[in-house]
Structure formats: C-alpha cells, structure tokens
Amino acid sequence: MPEQNFIDYVKICCRSGAGGPGSAHFRRDKITSKGGPDGGDGGRGGHIIVRGNKQLWTLLSLKYRKHILGKHGANGSQSGKTGADGEDIILEVPLGTVAKDVETGEILFEISKDKEEKILLAGGRGGLGNTHFKSATNQTPRFAQQGEPGKEEWKILELKVLADVGLVGFPNAGKSTLLSVVTAAKPKIANYPFTTMVPNLGIVSYRDGRSFVMADIPGIIENAHQGKGLGHRFLKHIERNAVLLFMIPIDSDDLNEEFRILLSELEAFNRELLDKPRLVLVTKIDMVDEELLELVKEEIKWEEPTAFISSVSHEGIDSLKDKLWQMLNDD
C-alpha cells in the first residue's frame, strides 16, 4: 500500500438531518366538512452512521470529506401519514476504527466486525402531528410539533490496525523482510531506519488452509511514548494485536538492553500491552556461525520464549509459524 494512501486519522464535521415538522391538518372530504385532526408526524432526520468494511485498510475515502451532511426528514401530511425519514449517510471504515468526540476526547465506539453499524450522530426526531394533541377539552388542536433540529459536531475517526500478530522492534530490525517472506505482502525494504512509515499487513498461510494476519508496525525508538519520532502514531497500532512478536537483530550492540527499551516503551504508552502474549525473535542469524550463535543464546537474560530465524535463508521460519499458531490458539 503506498504510504500516501494510508490514512489512519481523520477529523470531520458531522451535521445530522433535522426532523420534519408534524402536520396540523384536519380531515376534509366531500362528505366531511369539519372533520377532526388527522395531521401525521414528521419524518426523522438522517443519521450519520459508521459501518465496518473488511475490504478497507485505510480511512483514505474520508480524507477529503471534511463536512458530512445528513438529509432532513419530510413533513407529516394529512390522513395521519408520517413523513419520510431523512436519508442516512453511511461512512464505510476499516475494522479497528475508533470514533471519538473532539471536544471531550471520549471514545464513542469501536468498529471491529464486518458490516457492523454504529450511529456517529443521530438525526433529529420528527415533530408530532396535531392528532397527538387532541383531548377532551381541545377537540380541534390547530398546532403541531416542529421537528428537532439536527446536531452539528466534530468527530475523530482513528484507525488502529487489527491483526493477529504485531511485529515490534527498532527501525531496521528486519520486520518488513520477515513479512515479505511469510506473506504475499510487498513492503518497502531497505537498509536504513524508518523504511516503513505506515503499517503493512499480510496473511500468513499455515497448514491445512489455515491462516492468520501479521502486521509490520513501523519501528519504535527510545522515548516513542513521548511522541519522539512518530511514536504515538506507531504505538497505537500495537494495541489491537493479539500476539506481540519482538524482533531484535543478532548484530545489535546489546540484545538485552534493546528488549528492555522496547518493553519500557510499550509499558509507558499503555501498560495493558504487557498483558498480551509475546515472543522474542532474534533475527539475521545467517550473519553468524553456530559457535557465535550459541554464545549469543548464553547472553540472553529475558525469560520470554525466544526463537531464532533468518529471513534470508528461511532458517527457523516454519517453526516460527508453528509457535505463533499455537500462541494464537492457546486456550
């Protein structure tokens, strides 16, 4: 996916439709000259609705739609007829989209299922016709209720990537290379930091036609939780991953310190991330011989389960898939 087409944040002004006014009509026909009230209710104003679409991966379609306007409800009419509801405006978004109120920052809802619908901004209710106001002391009410006005509010839609496995690591840890090897995704790969500027997703084919989704999250740097680099933009995508796969290249200056920094950045951003199952992956083992690899294993101080792979030679790739599948399906 081209980087300029990946949009994970939009701020939009929403105006829902106003409800139609009720009717103050009285029944009149060729045999009735002074009938009672028969005014119908006004129609509801159009809602602004958010709908999940599993085929979408970005909020690009909303990038240039700064104003979303709902349609107004129709007037009530004679013979108790209710006016037509205003047409709802439906905004299709990727799964993992969170809606927030701009003023309060409150999270309104999250879209996590295909075709799931939530009302972002409700339309105004239609006004009641004069039939509702008839009473023993007022047989001919000559008034009806006006419809409620629509609401106008600013909303934020923010995408947090949904994936089974999220790749976590410093820039240039080999995340994009691994994704290109185990999936059909074609992320940008180069030997310099921050090659990946947006999340890349791919489907990992497993045994017997089974599969799971892997996400290459852009690289974390120290103090990313404070917004350094593009910290907040990167870290939020990790919140929706079921399993975290920490990737540390074997040529790192200090493997233990690199893992400690990654853990501390996640904890500082959102402590709940530490509750997710995690696997540490030491990458690029094709760069060392077996003797040096054993020395590296002896230096490891973390207690998390660890795997060793080379995306270049494909060493350890199959066993990695087995381990991830087991973690994803471990009851």
CATH number where 171 lies: 3.40.50.300
The region of weakest confidence among 122-131, 225-234, 257-266 is 225-234
Q: Domain total for the chain? A: 2
Are 300 and 171 in the same domain? Answer: yes
Are 201 and 132 in the same domain? Answer: no
Are 239 and 294 in the same domain? Answer: yes
Are 168 and 150 in the same domain? Answer: no
Structure tokens at 137: 């002391």
Residue predicted with more confidence, 1 or 274: 274
pLDDT attached to residue 239: 73
Are 303 and 259 in the same domain? Answer: yes
Are 122 and 189 in the same domain? Answer: no
In DSSP terms, 29 is beta-bridged to 32
Name the residue among 159, 148, 185 with its Cα closest to residue 16.
Answer: 148
Q: Select from 136, 159, 182 the last residue of a domain.
A: 159
Are 63 and 101 in the same domain? Answer: yes
Q: What is the pTM of this model?
A: 0.65
Q: pLDDT tens for residues 32-89? A: 777 789 999 999 999 999 999 988 877 888 888 889 999 999 999 988 899 999 999 9
pLDDT attached to residue 190: 42
State the Cα–Cα distance between residues 52 and 37, nearest whole angstrom. 44
Kindly state the helix (H) or strand (E) to which residue 323 belongs, with its residue range: helix 317-328
pLDDT attached to residue 234: 57
Are 235 and 92 in the same domain? Answer: no
Residue predicted with more confidence, 180 or 69: 69
Kindly indicate the confidence band of residue 329, based on its pLDDT and cuts at 50, 70 and 90. Answer: confident
Name the residue among 43, 51, 3 with its Cα closest to residue 23.
Answer: 43
Structure tokens at 160: 């947090």
Residues ≥6 apart with Cβ < 8 Å to 322 = none
Q: pLDDT tens for residues 1-36? A: 444 455 778 999 999 999 999 999 888 877 777 778
State whether the Cα torsion 259-265-270-271 is positive or negative. positive
Q: Select from 111, 138, 159 the last residue of a domain.
A: 159
The region of weakest confidence among 43-52, 174-183, 252-261, 309-318 is 174-183
Q: Select from 159, 191, 224 the last residue of a domain.
A: 159
Mean pLDDT, to the nearest integer, of 284-293? 90
CATH of the domain at 81: 2.70.210.12
Are 171 and 237 in the same domain? Answer: yes
Q: Which residues of 1-31 are buried (b: 16+ CB within 10 A; e: fewer)?
A: eeeeebbbebebebbbbbbbbbbbbbbeeee
Q: pLDDT tens for residues 183-214? A: 765 544 444 444 444 567 778 888 888 888 88
pLDDT attached to residue 192: 43
**DSSP per residue, 265-295:** HHHHH-GGGGGS-EEEEEE-GGGS-HHHHHH
> Residue 19 is part of which domain span?
1-159
Are 224 and 131 in the same domain? Answer: no
Are 240 and 262 in the same domain? Answer: yes
State the Cα–Cα distance between residues 123 and 148, nearest whole angstrom. 8
In DSSP terms, 9 is beta-bridged to 158
Residue predicted with more confidence, 244 or 163: 244
Are 67 and 94 in the same domain? Answer: yes
